[in-house]
Structure 1
Amino acid sequence: MAEEYSRDLERAEEYEQTTARATALGKNKMELSTGLIIAARYADKLRRVALVAFSKMVPKEVIIRDIAELNKQLYDKIVNEMKLDKLSVIKIIVDAEYDEQNNKLVFSNLRILRYYNEDEIKTLCKSYEDKIKALEDDIQNFKTKVAQIEQLLKSME
């Protein structure tokens, strides 16, 4: 575990030099963004982005602890609610604020954006086309039934 965190710290320093993935929103408040990643890599990427964004104002142990809690929530949402595959392309954006009194990061406005590849889009379109066709058939059947009922009512007059 310690080796993994030291590797993340090294990568975080590297990211700080090459890629800004955090936007300041106010005092001790940042918007963190993973950028486009595969779902399997969200935890490492989010931890690294947070380390870059908060390393100068928040103890590293606090960042790692609180991001670990957020990552548990994200896992549940990504795997159980959204039912995403490990190779699904996503982007996670979250607002994070350092609460100095309680010595913790507070997260809000969590967004998980799912990106689809061309094959997935084609499959989704085909599925929706099939549903539309079924609905059109239902509408036609209802129109036929309405016409039959209208004729029946006219014949009863």
Structure 2
Amino acid sequence: MAEEYSRDLERAEEYEQLTARATAIGKNKMELSTGLIIAARYADKLRRVALVAFSRMVPKDIIIRDVSELNKELYEKIVNEMKLDKLDVIKIVVDAEYDDQNKKLVFSNLRIMRYYNEDKIRKMCKEYEDKIKSLENEVQNYKKKVGQIEELLKSME
């Protein structure tokens, strides 16, 4: 655990110099973004982004503790609700605010965006086109049945 912690701190410092993934949106409040990542890497990336964003105002142990709680919630959503594969490309954006009174990071407005590759989009389009054709055929069959019923009613008059 200590090795992971020090590795995350090193990477956080590197990220801070290379790219900003956090945007200030108020006093002690930041919008954190993982950027495009594979789903399997969300926990590491989010922890590192939070370390970069809050390391000057929040003790690191609080950041790590609170981000791990958020990561548990994210796991539930990503794996069980959204049923994403480890290699699916996602982007996570969340607002985080440091509550100085309770010594806690408070997360809100969580957004998980899923990105599809071109092959997946083509496959989905084909499935929808097939479904549309099937529904159009059903509609035509119902129209024929309605026409037959109308003719039957006319002949009964």
The corresponding residue for 2:119 is 119
**1: CA distance, partners of 2:54 / 2:90:** 23
Letter in 2 for 1:55: S
- After superposition, residues 59-78 of structure 1 pair within 5 angstroms as 59-78=59-78
TM-score by length of 2: 0.99
> Which digits, 9 at most, give the CA deviation of each residue in 1:66-123, with x for residues without a partner?
0000000101100111111100000000000111111101111000000000111111
**Secondary structure of the corresponding residue to residue 91 of structure 2:** strand
Give 4+ residue runs of structure 1 displaced > 3 Å after superposition.
none
Percent of paired sites with the same residue: 83
- After superposition, residues 13-32 of structure 1 pair within 5 angstroms as 13-32=13-32
Letter in 2 for 1:135: L
1:61 Cα offset (Å): 0.5
Letter in 1 for 2:38: I
Unaligned runs of 5+ in 1: none
The corresponding residue for 1:2 is 2
> Is the aligned partner of 1:41 residue 2:41?
yes
1:152 Cα offset (Å): 1.0
TM-score by length of 1: 0.99
**Secondary structure of the corresponding residue to residue 10 of structure 1:** helix
**Secondary structure of the corresponding residue to residue 63 of structure 1:** helix
**Secondary structure of the corresponding residue to residue 41 of structure 1:** helix
Letter in 2 for 1:34: T
1:26 Cα offset (Å): 0.2
**2: CA distance, partners of 1:109 / 1:11:** 26
Unaligned runs of 5+ in 2: none
